[in-house]
Amino acid sequence: DDDDDDDATAAHLTCEEWCEKRGIVPGPKMGGRFRGWVAQDLVESLGLAASAAEAWDGNGGGSFAKAGKAGKGENAKEFARKMIKKNPNCYFYRHNAPGQDAWHGDWAEDEIERFVEVAKEHGCGDKWGLFASYIPHRVGYQCSAAYRHVIIPRGLLLDDQFVMSRSGEAIYVGKRGSKGNA
């Protein structure tokens, strides 16, 4: 059949093409950027700054290139733990809120629904630590993985920075037309 021939010749599909071929009503398109800050309840309960600039400047400032990475021999998770006040994105990428249980494994449907709600309100595609502050019990790298392995393949959100393989894998290609990317 013609659809199979199309699949065989197209190595990758756009998210829209993927949804259309599978009869999925696609969700909204994301712009590749998270436009929020730490969830307000955590800003208040943890005494965090009201903005990224306030957090960075109020906690020593400096060059991000030097201050944004673990030092030689320092564990990335331990470094991130120290960054809760200065760079909450770094902290929440690897850590839950203090005192909050960490959940592992597959995501429940209510977590997936929450993910989509947060993305619709604040966007997504970067700053996964900040994004995760809105998803109880999950950290930034889990949110990033859920985006690639669950959210995009199910068509819940669309993202032009990804294409879909014929087998259903979301593949990051970066911004279309930017130097060095597909």
What's the pLDDT score for residue 1? 42
Helices (H), 95-136: 109-122, 128-132
What's the pLDDT score for residue 70? 66
Supply angle C-alpha 122, 126, 131, rounded to 5: 50
User: Among 161, 174, 181, 175, which Cα is nearest to 14's?
Assistant: 161
CB-based contact 34:126 (threshold 8 Å): yes
The identity of residue 173, as a single letter, is V
What's the pLDDT score for residue 27? 97
- Six-digit token pair at 163? 């294409």
What's the pLDDT score for residue 66? 53
Block mean pLDDT (10 aa), the chain, length 182: 48 94 96 96 96 92 65 80 93 96 97 98 97 98 97 97 94 70 40
CA distance 2 to 136: 45
The identity of residue 18, as a single letter, is W
> How far, in whole angstroms, is CA 1 from its chain's centroid?
37
What's the pLDDT score for residue 2? 46
Q: 89-129, pLDDT tens digit by residue?
A: 999 999 999 999 999 999 999 999 999 999 999 999 999 99
